[in-house]
């Protein structure tokens, strides 16, 4: 990858009504060959950002560059960018081969060259045997592969995809994810991919830019986002999270101490910009929390400098590969602990008083502005769970709702 970014957004704002910016101060660089996802709830500005890159919308302020050149004055068909949308957008009256050839005929390529390229593009998505059919004779997954072939046929340097798998069922969506990842690798494509599905973004991307309310909250590699969320919004939106609210009582180097509403004090890695007295959220993944059911195990955890909170077992949910234990802290906040179903484990009995423990470096204390906490509404989380792999994967926003 060269040092110059291949795609760059600098200070980009977009307003449709001249009053309210739906994209605000967007700075984002994408390297050549990188797969970057724009992830965020509905209405957060992902499609608008993609449309500005594609040339279907123009920025109200700021600049967008491709390979160092400003894109502003270039019409969409001269941008060397392929696009795939959720609804395939195939021409129903044309055959599959004619659909794939369309971008080539627009570019006035010779018939013989078109034929070679269409064949190659259909081979790539393993549909060369269906070239003579019409879109209505294909399944949804096959139609989406045609749309993919059509976006790739003119060998664009960048491919933009806007929720391309949103209309497909789970199995098909997963196999298409691998197909797109394979094409990205084999063709060294630069891909900017829009999705509201965090699993999809984490699985496919080199880097994910998390959007909320027109702003990028964090742009980082999937592991970094999951392990090192920059703020409460990212922690809640990416993966499942126990968010416990409290006040920062002290910070020391990379650590912060947080007093929870039940007056217990817990410690975690400190997020940037925390000061004593701030309202903050402790972000704890359910798989990093443990149940200490006996006084001896509580004592052992305390000796190892682990965090300990006391809680009541409220619900036990069997999920096949794991159990989910819902616990209530004395002041009412809920914690969910994921217990892997790998061996016979003694799960605590319903209604029992027990303790939840976790390592200090397995949680993070994050700035929690009201805006960040309100940015996830129950609707977003509902929509989000139906599109992810199972209903039990919906994000936890304990202490927020």
Contact positions vs Mg ion (CB under 5 A): 47
Residue nearest to Mg ion (CB): 47
From 29-37, 44-52, 76-84, 170-178, span contacting ligand ADP (CB under 6 A): 44-52
Instruction: Using the minimum distance from each CB to ligand ADP, give the nearer residue, 193 or 358.
Output: 193
Size of interface with ligand ADP, in residues (CB under 6 A): 10
- φ and ψ at residue 366, rounded to 5 degrees: -120, 145
- φ and ψ at residue 60, rounded to 5 degrees: -75, -35
The CA distance from 63 to 341, in Å, is: 51
Instruction: Using the minimum distance from each CB to Mg ion, give the nearer residue, 47 or 381.
Output: 47
Choose, by CB under 6 A, the member of 28, 36, 37, 40 that binds ligand ADP.
40
How is 81-144 classified by DSSP, letter by letter? EEEEETT----TTS-HHHHHHHHHHHTT--HHHHHHHHHHHHHHTT-GGGTTS-GGGS-HHHHH
Site for ligand ADP in 249-288 (CB under 6 A): none
Residue 56 binds ligand ADP (CB under 6 A): no
Instruction: Using the minimum distance from each CB to ligand ADP, give the nearer residue, 33 or 62.
Output: 62
177 binds, among ligand ADP, Mg ion, none (CB under 5 to 8 A by kind): none
Task: Let me know: does 231 contact 374? Beta carbons within 8 Å.
Answer: no
Strand partners, 63: 10
Handedness of CA 372, 374, 379, 385 (dihedral sign): positive
Least distance to ligand ADP, CB of residue 57, Å: 7
Structure tokens belonging to residue 123 = 């081979």
Residue 158 binds ligand ADP (CB under 6 A): no
Least distance to ligand ADP, CB of residue 22, Å: 4
Strand partners, 28: 9
Residue 43 binds ligand ADP (CB under 6 A): yes
Task: Let me know: does 328 contact 398? Beta carbons within 8 Å.
Answer: no
From 25-33, 40-48, 62-70, 94-102, span contacting ligand ADP (CB under 6 A): 40-48
Choose, by CB under 6 A, the member of 47, 195, 307, 387 that binds ligand ADP.
47
Choose, by CB under 6 A, the member of 46, 117, 145, 150 that binds ligand ADP.
46
Residue 44 binds ligand ADP (CB under 6 A): yes
Instruction: Using the minimum distance from each CB to Mg ion, give the nearer residue, 41 or 243.
Output: 41
Residue 197 CB neighbour total at 10 angstroms: 23
The CA distance from 35 to 24, in Å, is: 23
The CA distance from 80 to 308, in Å, is: 56
Q: Which residue, among 364, 400, 28, 33, has the nearest Cα to 189 in the 3D structure?
A: 33
Q: CA 314 → CA 34, 321, 329, 341, distances in Å? A: 45, 20, 10, 19
Look at strands 363-367 and 265-270 and give their pairing: parallel
Q: Give the position of tokens 């060269």.
A: 2
Choose, by CB under 6 A, the member of 16, 56, 91, 178 that binds ligand ADP.
16
Residue 379 CB neighbour total at 10 angstroms: 10
Instruction: Using the minimum distance from each CB to Mg ion, give the nearer residue, 160 or 398.
Output: 160
22 binds, among Mg ion, ligand ADP, none (CB under 5 to 8 A by kind): ligand ADP
Instruction: Using the minimum distance from each CB to ligand ADP, give the nearer residue, 216 or 256.
Output: 216
For residue 77, the 8-state DSSP code is: G
Residue 164 binds ligand ADP (CB under 6 A): no
Least distance to Mg ion, CB of residue 200, Å: 14
Least distance to Mg ion, CB of residue 47, Å: 3
40 binds, among Mg ion, ligand ADP, none (CB under 5 to 8 A by kind): ligand ADP
Residue 42 binds ligand ADP (CB under 6 A): yes
Cβ within 8 Å of residue 186, ≥6 positions away: none
Task: Let me know: does 220 contact 234? Beta carbons within 8 Å.
Answer: no
Instruction: Using the minimum distance from each CB to ligand ADP, give the nearer residue, 40 or 271.
Output: 40
Least distance to Mg ion, CB of residue 211, Å: 10
- φ and ψ at residue 263, rounded to 5 degrees: 75, 0
From 36-44, 125-133, 153-161, 199-207, span contacting ligand ADP (CB under 6 A): 36-44
Least distance to ligand ADP, CB of residue 86, Å: 11
Interface contacts to ligand ADP, rule CB under 6 A: 16, 22, 40, 42-48
């Amino acid at each position: 990858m060269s040092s110059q970014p291949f795609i760059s957004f600098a200070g980009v704002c977009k307003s449709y009504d001249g009053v309210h910016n739906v994209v605000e101060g967007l700075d984002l660089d994408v390297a050549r060959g990188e797969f970057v996802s724009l992830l965020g709830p509905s209405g957060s500005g992902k499609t608008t950002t993609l449309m500005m890159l594609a040339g279907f919308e123009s920025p109200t302020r700021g600049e967008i560059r491709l390979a160092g050149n400003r894109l502003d004055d270039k019409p969409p068909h001269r941008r060397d960018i392929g696009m795939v949308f959720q609804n395939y957008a195939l021409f129903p009256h044309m055959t599959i081969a004619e659909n794939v050839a369309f971008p080539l005929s627009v570019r006035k390529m010779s018939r013989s060259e078109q034929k070679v390229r269409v064949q190659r593009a259909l081979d790539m998505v393993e549909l060369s045997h269906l070239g003579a059919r019409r879109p209505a004779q294909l399944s949804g997954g096959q139609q989406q592969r045609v749309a993919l072939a059509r976006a790739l046929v003119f060998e664009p340097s960048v491919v933009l995809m806007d929720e391309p798998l949103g209309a497909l069922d789970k199995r098909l969506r997963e196999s298409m994810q691998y197909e797109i990842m394979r094409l990205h690798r084999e063709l060294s494509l630069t891909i900017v991919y829009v999705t509201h599905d965090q699993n999809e973004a984490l699985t496919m991307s080199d880097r994910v830019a998390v959007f909320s309310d027109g702003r990028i909250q964090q742009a980082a590699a999937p592991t970094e986002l999951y392990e090192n969320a920059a703020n409460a919004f990212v922690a809640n939106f990416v993966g499942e999270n126990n968010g416990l609210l409290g006040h920062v009582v002290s910070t020391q180097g990379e650590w912060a101490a947080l007093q929870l509403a039940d007056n217990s004090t817990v410690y975690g890695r400190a997020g940037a910009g925390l000061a004593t007295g701030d309202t903050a959220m402790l972000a704890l993944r359910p798989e990093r929390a443990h149940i200490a059911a006996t006084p001896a195990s509580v004592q052992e955890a305390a000796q190892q400098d682990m965090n300990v909170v006391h809680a009541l077992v409220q619900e036990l949910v069997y999920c096949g590969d794991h159990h989910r234990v819902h616990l209530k802290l004395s002041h009412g906040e809920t914690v969910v602990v994921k217990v892997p179903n790998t061996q016979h484990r003694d799960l605590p009995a319903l209604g029992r008083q027990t303790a939840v423990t976790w390592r200090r470096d397995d949680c993070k204390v994050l700035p929690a502005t009201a805006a960040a906490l309100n940015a996830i509404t129950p609707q977003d989380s509902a929509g989000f769970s139906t599109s992810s792999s199972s209903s039990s994967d919906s994000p936890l926003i304990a202490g927020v709702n």
